[in-house]
Amino acid sequence: MNNFDKPSVLVIEDEAPIRRFLKLTLSDHGYSFHEALNAREGLSKIASEQPSLVILDLGLPDMDGIELTREIREWSKVPIIVLSAREQEKDKVLALDAGADDYLTKPFGVQELLARARVAIRHAAKSPPQADSIVTFGQVKIDFGKRLVTFNDTELHLTPNEFKLLAALVRHAGRVITHTQLLREIWGSEYTDETHYLRVYMAQLRRKLETDPAQPRHLITEPGVGYKLKLD
Amino acid sequence: MNNFDKPSVLVIEDEAPIRRFLKLTLSDHGYSFHEALNAREGLSKIASEQPSLVILDLGLPDMDGIELTREIREWSKVPIIVLSAREQEKDKVLALDAGADDYLTKPFGVQELLARARVAIRHAAKSPPQADSIVTFGQVKIDFGKRLVTFNDTELHLTPNEFKLLAALVRHAGRVITHTQLLREIWGSEYTDETHYLRVYMAQLRRKLETDPAQPRHLITEPGVGYKLKLD
DNA sequence: TTTCGTCTTTACGAATTCTTGACGCTTTAT
DNA sequence: ATAAAGCGTCAAGAATTCGTAAAGACGAAA
């Protein structure tokens, strides 16, 4: 659902090693990662994070995984991939019929999981020709699905870094994001000291998106801390 | 697609015993059954029978199953479940990225196959009906049914790769598609670094489809990201 | 075998984007 | 008040990415 730039995955898994493993592989492959340690937390995070995919371990402490699948399906269409140690056919049939979209037996291969994740997300993207997630502020409109930004309804061009920065700001709209956090999200964690980059790119964004770049109304500096995007 | 009475399944499989076995089980479980013994026959029966699901064996005599999957996906969204004796992860990834919706290793359980068939058909039921097979932009007209492209009403010839690239662009018309995504859809997931392929084929497409190839109005470059097709 | 069409690979100039440093302004600390 | 630090702006050179043509590789058909 979160159409900004990266697809996001919610992993519901109580075993820490597998969770860590999934976090690494998924983050490495361009997914933003969220986690829940039990069914209850999983349900609430599906609602709050709106992930584009749920990966769900059947053996959770507080609720049967099949039951959880059914609960999710009562109100959400988010793709679900079930992981399980159980290889019996009966389990697979139950999970799939409960509403799961795929079923993988542990141990599974990373590449296969990633490929099946792509299939699940591809399905979801095609389903209802859902409206793109569009964010507006001032005279600016951002269509993340089309990667299109308009100012006063005239299309304008953003470079990759400009767009990534804008996306990061939108992702955390309304709140302050620290320099470190922004640099990590856009350039990677080796660049957390290059606050210089932010100054240059914020200036470029303001020049393109603000009516008066010298008096920004939306791309706000939080001195000594970071930046924030004011919507409205 | 045949939503009226029974869902129909097309099995593309050269080994007679498996074919017979599938025929029995599927018929027993309320599916109407069609069969094809090779890839060529499979392609033509998908067009003529419009099945609601294709079950496809990778080891066909006349064409690589992965390639067949990709060919089907150029013009059809019918759900595809791949059967294979090969359990290697690489094969699964290739098939799934080529457009298959699921992958089962032989020997497989009947109940599991049936459950996965239900999932596939459930997905298809949710997605919107087949997209229009004729697309126009500028002076270009594309008829996907006939695999025919005209410029100013004069027919012009596209090579297989040119056509695949164009089809991928049309499939995502209006939005930016990343290099990785295009390469994955056209050449497969092992080619995601060969961005130079895109450059030469985009150039060839522009030469054939744009009035002024140096100033493209429809086949647009998004520097550092990918390409997009602007209709209108 | 040759021929033909297509695909793959290479090379290089052109275009775009990124990085870097300089400079001046403002705010904060001393 | 002065110094120091943080910020905004600009622009030049570096680095990357693109477009294009053309040559070699490959396979199918004659």
What pLDDT was estimated at residue A5?
A: 58
CATH at residue A169:
1.10.10.10
What pLDDT was estimated at residue B141?
A: 95
A53-57, A223-227, B27-31, B62-66: least confidently modelled range: B62-66
Residue A2 forms part of a structural domain = no
Range of the domain at A60: 8-125
Last residue of a domain, one of A125, A143, A163: A125
DSSP B155-212: EE---HHHHHHHHHHHHTTTS-EEHHHHHHHHT-GGGTT-HHHHHHHHHHHHHHH-SS
Question: What are the structure tokens assigned to B201, written together?
Answer: 């084929």
Domains in chain A, number: 2
DSSP state, A3? -
- Percent of chain A past pLDDT 90, that is, above it, reads 70
The helix, strand and coil proportions of chain B, stated in percent and rounded to the nearest 5, come to 45, 20, 35
* Closest residue by Cα to residue A184 from A168, A167, A204, A160: A168
DSSP state, B81? E
What pLDDT was estimated at residue B3?
A: 46
What pLDDT was estimated at residue B71?
A: 84
Same domain, A14 and A96: yes
CA B224 to C1' D16 (Å) is 9
- Is omega for the bond preceding B107 within 30 degrees of 0, making it cis? yes
For strands A80-84 and A53-57, give the pairing. Answer: parallel
Nucleotide showing the shortest C1' distance to residue B202 CA: D19
Task: List all nucleotides in chain C with at least one atom under 7 A from a protein Cβ.
Answer: 5-11, 16-21, 27-28
Which residues are CB-neighbours of B38 under 8 A, at least 6 positions away?
Answer: B12, B14, B60, B61, B62, B63
Residue B1 forms part of a structural domain = no
- Residue B173 CA to chain centroid, in angstroms? 16
Residue A65 forms part of a structural domain = yes
Chain A residue with CA closest to B228: the answer is A146
Same domain, A224 and A207: yes
CA A97 to CA A100: how far, in whole Å?
7
Same domain, B92 and B64: yes
Same domain, B42 and B119: yes
Q: For chain A, what is the mean pLDDT?
A: 90
Residue B1 contacts A, CB cutoff 8 Å: no
Max intra-chain CA distance, chain A:
65
Strand order through the sheet with B32-36 = B32-36, B8-12, B53-57, B80-84, B102-105
Same domain, B94 and B37: yes
pLDDT tens for A18-48 read 999 999 999 888 898 999 999 888 988 887 7
Last residue of a domain, one of A74, A107, A125: A125
pLDDT tens for A115-165 read 999 999 999 877 655 566 789 999 999 998 899 999 999 999 999 999 999
Count other Cβ atoms within 10 Å, centred on residue A3. Answer: 19
CA B191 to C1' D13 (Å) is 33
Same domain, A16 and A113: yes
Same domain, A204 and A138: yes
Residue A89 contacts B, CB cutoff 8 Å: yes
B-chain residues near A96 (CB < 8 A): 115-116, 118-119
Window B162-201, strand D contacts by Cβ < 7 Å: 179, 195-196, 199-200
Same domain, B94 and B114: yes
Same domain, B85 and B110: yes
CATH at residue B118:
3.40.50.2300
Same domain, B38 and B112: yes
Alpha helix segments (H runs only) across A15-147? 16-28, 39-49, 65-75, 89-98, 110-126
Residue B220 forms part of a structural domain = yes
Q: How confident is the model at residue A80 (pLDDT cuts 50, 70, 90)?
A: very high
Whether the CB-CB separation of A96 and A66 falls below 8 Å is answered with no
Cβ distance of A102 and B102 shorter than 8 Å? yes
What pLDDT was estimated at residue B150?
A: 95
What pLDDT was estimated at residue B2?
A: 45
For strands B148-151 and B219-222, give the pairing. Answer: unpaired
Residue A1 forms part of a structural domain = no
Residue A3 forms part of a structural domain = no
Residue B174 contacts A, CB cutoff 8 Å: yes
Can you list the positions of beta strands (E) in A148-230?
A: 148-151, 154-156, 176-178, 219-222, 226-229
Q: Which of B89, B111, B175 sits opposite A109 (nearest CB)?
A: B89
* Angle at A224 (CA atoms; ends A220, A226), nearest 5 degrees: 45
Residue A102 contacts B, CB cutoff 8 Å: yes
Mean pLDDT of A210-220: 94
Same domain, B15 and B113: yes
More confident residue, B42 or A89: A89
Last residue of a domain, one of A125, A154, A176: A125
What pLDDT was estimated at residue B10?
A: 95
Same domain, B149 and B103: no
- Residue A18 CA to chain centroid, in angstroms? 20
DSSP 3-state of A128: coil
Is residue B168 exposed (0-12), middle (13-18) or buried (19+ Cβ within 10 Å)? buried
Collect the ranges in chain B with pLDDT lower than 70.
1-5, 127-132
pLDDT tens for B187-228 read 988 899 999 999 999 999 999 999 999 999 999 999 999 999
